[in-house]
Amino acid sequence: MSNAKPLILVSNDDGITSKGILTLVNVMKRIGDVLVVAPNSPQSGMGHAITVGESLRLEENFIFEDVQAFECSGTPADCVKMARHFVLKGQRQPDVVVSGVNHGSNTSISVLYSGTMSAAIEGAIEGTPAIGFSLCDYSHDADFSHTEAYIEKITREVLAKGLPKGVALNVNFPPASQGPIQGIRICRQANAKWVEEFDQRFDPNGRRYFWMVGAFVNFDKGEDNDEWAIANNYVSVVPCQFDLTAHTAIPLLNQDWSILDRADSAHPEVSEYRIPGKEDRA
């Protein structure tokens, strides 16, 4: 690998043999030196799980032409950790972490459950600019080709401009069947959620089991969110962070809770919590 080119770490949650990661690797090869560390089996819906209390396995895989690649028995977050702290230990670290291209949507609340985005968030935790890419198409023969030019543009922009500290981008593409993409929109996460039901079933031995079903419900009527962007054939880009603190709730709780030691109110870090802004850019 040459220091003249950016070093790009690629991972995903659909597994190292998925169609989406092949698309991502092929695009990244146009931009820089590529290292792949990805799960050896599908890890969708794993969120930011990590493997503790059991062993991890890591094996080199020669599935990609001219690209060093490893398959890992762990989760997407495990893969990024293994890449940084084992495969690249004592060596140059990635200039950007990219994850995907996920086979299915990761808009709105899905970002919390997404293994794709957890690989990207793990990169952000380590201080590396990171992007998770997803295609909003669950069909078996989904077409990823229309995503390639936008993946390249967005990745090059991040490499050139950087991202605020602790931020990863959640990028979603509309399906090719919707027609030509209209452009890129910087969005917020839509106010939407999965409304689950549990279908009770019985196996051949008469033992009960459950299958989670349900529907995705969008409560958001705005035109500045990721669900609107996808519905209107834009690429949605949502900046995400791993700090889940509800910053605006801190002064409210300090003011309203009677169980607090009021002596603490003299400390600005408790009573006047500052909401991070542009000055926190890395």
User: Does position 262 have pLDDT exceeding 80, yes or no?
Assistant: no
Task: Write down the pLDDT at residue 259.
Answer: 86
Task: Write down the pLDDT at residue 43.
Answer: 86
pTM: 0.88
* 270 — pLDDT class (breaks 50, 70, 90): very low
Cα–Cα distance between 263 and 10 in angstroms, integer?
A: 49
Q: Binding site: what residues are annotated?
A: 13-14, 44, 102
Please give the backbone phi and psi of residue 185, each rounded to the nearest 5 degrees, phi first: -125, 130
Tally Cβ neighbours within 10 Å of residue 237: 19
User: Does position 264 have pLDDT exceeding 70, yes or no?
Assistant: no
Residue with the larger pLDDT of the pair 186 and 268: 186
The stretch 83-103 carries a mean pLDDT of: 96
Class of the CATH-defined domain 7-188+221-241: alpha beta
The stretch 148-169 carries a mean pLDDT of: 97
Residue 244 half-sphere exposure toward CB, CA atoms < 13 A: 3
pLDDT, tens digit, for every residue of 111-139? Answer: 999 999 999 999 999 999 999 999 999 99
Task: List CB contacts of 254: < 8 A, sequence separation 6 or more.
Answer: 260, 264, 265, 270, 271
pLDDT, tens digit, for every residue of 187-242? Answer: 999 998 888 899 999 999 999 999 988 888 889 999 999 999 999 999 999 999 99
Contact (CB, 8 A) for 128 and 165: no
Q: Domain spans of the chain?
A: 7-188+221-241, 249-277
Task: Write down the pLDDT at residue 47.
Answer: 85
What's the whole-number average pLDDT of the chain? 91
User: Does position 267 have pLDDT exceeding 70, yes or no?
Assistant: no
The token pair at 6 is 């950016």
User: Does position 177 have pLDDT exceeding 50, yes or no?
Assistant: yes
Q: Binding site for a divalent metal cation: what residues are annotated?
A: 13-14, 44, 102
Cα–Cα distance between 245 and 160 in angstroms, integer?
A: 29
